[in-house]
């Protein structure tokens, strides 16, 4: 069965990071995509045969410096509803594929652009990576434990959370609008903008006096002992996230902790003592033992699993959240739809 974006045609300019991830999701959702790759410039990403983000669409090698092959690219774009690219500002224009040219030929085209710094501004042409973008967006400074340096969260926040997802929201919104106006437009998705957007809740709590600028002292950043990770008897880890009083009460009961904690759960003056009490209890049993104990409860406790272990978790296995294709485990398409299910080509 066709996915919800069946009938949508897009062209992707080959790159690495958020743009191909967004293209993968479009293909997973049923869109038909063509990935234009350069036969003379190899991407700095090893092992394309293992690259999950390339799934679900065809690839075409085109040397855009050659007029005939540039014309082929333009023909593909002419027939598309959407184009996405992740180059620095000005690159597509120099290739002859910029918005003025592409939308001039195909007025309904949505032109999705994803960059780190955005299409304009004093930093627009500078190089950068995920860590730089979350640093200046006011996000990295708040990631880490108290008294420790900020902890880089891999390249998940700017590249994918604030980048690819922002690009997807933008192009799908523009496509929706184009259905009524008959006109395309440029979507300027910047990873710094998306990273800043991710701080909305943190800024809300700050305005209410419920969040400190110091990292590792707040209720959601390992400051609270009931929202943290603890080592188990077998040197693995358990995630404890019993924020609400009802969930915390269940946790206290299961762990046979002193009921006094129920009255002073949110008082930071007692958090160090509570952390010690929790750590001592969690350290008495293995991760598997605790997982079995908490599995049917609302205590909000879960094992910290590796990528190899995650597919074996009963919830992940039941929902087939991971699929094995040609011997490689990869995440299944998400989200799920009741009438137009997602899928991807496994050839």
List the catalytic residues: 129, 159
The three-point CA angle 345-81-100 to 5° equals 135
Tokens of residue 218, six digits = 């707040």
First-to-last alpha carbon distance for the chain, in angstroms, is: 17
Alpha-carbon distance of 288 to 286, in angstroms, equals: 5
Alpha-carbon distance of 113 to 168, in angstroms, equals: 10
CA dihedral 207, 212, 216, 219 (to 10 degrees): -50
Tokens of residue 18, six digits = 């958020």
Residue 59: strand, helix, or coil: strand
* Helix or strand run (H / E) with residue 329: strand 328-331
């Amino acid at each position: 069965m066709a996915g919800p974006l069946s009938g949508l045609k897009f062209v992707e300019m080959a790159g690495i990071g958020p743009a191909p991830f967004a293209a993968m999701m479009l293909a997973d959702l049923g869109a038909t995509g063509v990935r234009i790759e350069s036969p003379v410039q190899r991407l700095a990403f090893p092992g394309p045969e293992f690259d999950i983000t390339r799934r679900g669409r065809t690839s075409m090698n085109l040397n855009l410096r050659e007029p005939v092959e540039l014309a082929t690219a333009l023909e593909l774009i002419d027939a598309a509803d959407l184009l996405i690219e992740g180059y620095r500002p000005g690159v597509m224009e120099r290739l002859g594929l910029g918005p003025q040219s592409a939308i001039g030929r195909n007025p309904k085209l949505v032109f999705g652009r994803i960059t780190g710094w955005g299409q304009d501004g004093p930093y627009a042409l500078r190089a950068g990576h995920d860590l730089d973008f979350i640093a200046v967006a006011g996000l990295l400074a708040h990631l880490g434990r108290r008294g420790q340096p900020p902890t880089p969260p891999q390249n998940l926040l700017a590249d994918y959370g604030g980048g690819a997802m922002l690009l997807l929201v933008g192009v799908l919104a523009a496509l929706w609008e184009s259905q009524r106006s008959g006109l395309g437009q440029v979507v300027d998705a910047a990873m710094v903008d998306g990273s800043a957007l991710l701080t909305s809740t943190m800024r809300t709590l700050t305005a209410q006096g419920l969040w400190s600028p110091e990292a590792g002292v707040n209720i959601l950043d390992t400051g609270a002992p009931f929202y943290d990770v603890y080592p188990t008897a077998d040197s693995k880890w358990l995630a404890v996230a019993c924020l609400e009083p009802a969930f915390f009460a269940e946790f206290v009961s299961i762990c046979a902790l002193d009921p006094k904690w129920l009255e002073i759960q949110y008082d930071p003056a007692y958090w160090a003592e509570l952390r010690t009490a929790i750590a001592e209890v969690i350290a008495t049993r293995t991760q598997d033992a605790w997982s079995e104990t908490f599995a049917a409860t609302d205590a909000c406790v879960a094992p910290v699993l590796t990528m190899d272990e995650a597919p074996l978790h009963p919830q992940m296995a039941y929902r087939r959240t991971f699929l094995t294709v040609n011997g490689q485990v990869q995440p299944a398409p998400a989200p799920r739809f009741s009438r137009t299910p997602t899928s991807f080509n496994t050839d």
